[in-house]
Structure formats: C-alpha cells, structure tokens
Amino acid sequence: MIASLNTRLIDLTVGDLLQLIDDRMKGFDNAEMSEKKDFTEKEYVYGIDGIADLFSVSNSTAKTYKKTWLKPAIYQSGRTIMTDKEMAIELFKEQDISRKLRVKSS
C-alpha cells in the first residue's frame, strides 16, 4: 500500500508505517550528518576545572577565559562544558602574541 498524507494511521500496516518512518529518517540523517560536529577525533577537556588545569590557572581565571577569547573553542550544552584542547591552545598562543604586541607598542 502506498500511503498518502490523507491515509489514516489506523489503515497502515506495521510494514507500511516502518517504511514511512525509514523514508523520512533518511532525509534527516543526511541533513544532520552535514551539520553535526565530529566529537570523536579531537581531544577535549571538560568543565571549568579542565580549562583551569589546561592553562594552570585558577577557576576564576578559567571562567574569565571561557567568557572571552576562549569562546570559539567551547561547546556548551546546559551545564556541560567541552573545550577543544587543540583550538584552545591555538587561541591561547594568539592571545599571548596580541598581548605582547600591545605591551610593546605602549
């Protein structure tokens, strides 16, 4: 049976319903895969404590880093904070260089 938008759910067989769900999910999977970030290949530090340990600073300083120049390296969902370690180190180097340039030009 080929279901249309006007087909009642009660008129579908289990096979028809599964086929419809499968067809709809294929489109979503392809779209989501292109948008999802790959969290498996990179190294991450977790939470404010992880940032503090990475840069050997206090938690207060780690919070300041998180809110300012470290923002592009941070992925946060609710209270869970993941920081891309490699990107954070690169941003730290850039921050350190720009700070040194500001001091020399003063």
71 and 88 share one domain: yes
51 and 99 share one domain: yes
Q: Is the pTM of this model over 0.75?
A: no
27 and 74 share one domain: no
Residues linked to residue 46 through DSSP beta bridges, in sequence order: 82
Q: Please give the helix or strand (H or E) that residue 83 lies within, else none.
A: strand 80-84
Greatest CA separation found in the chain? 78
**Using CA atoms, how far apart are residues 11 and 22, in angstroms rounded to an integer?**
18
pLDDT digits (tens, 9 = 90+) for 45-57: 999 999 999 999 9
Q: Determine the distance from the C-alpha atom of residue 41 to the mean position of all C-alpha atoms in its chain, rounded to a whole number.
A: 13
30 and 67 share one domain: no
pLDDT digits (tens, 9 = 90+) for 70-82: 999 999 989 999 9
31 and 79 share one domain: no
- Specify the 3-state DSSP secondary structure of 76: strand
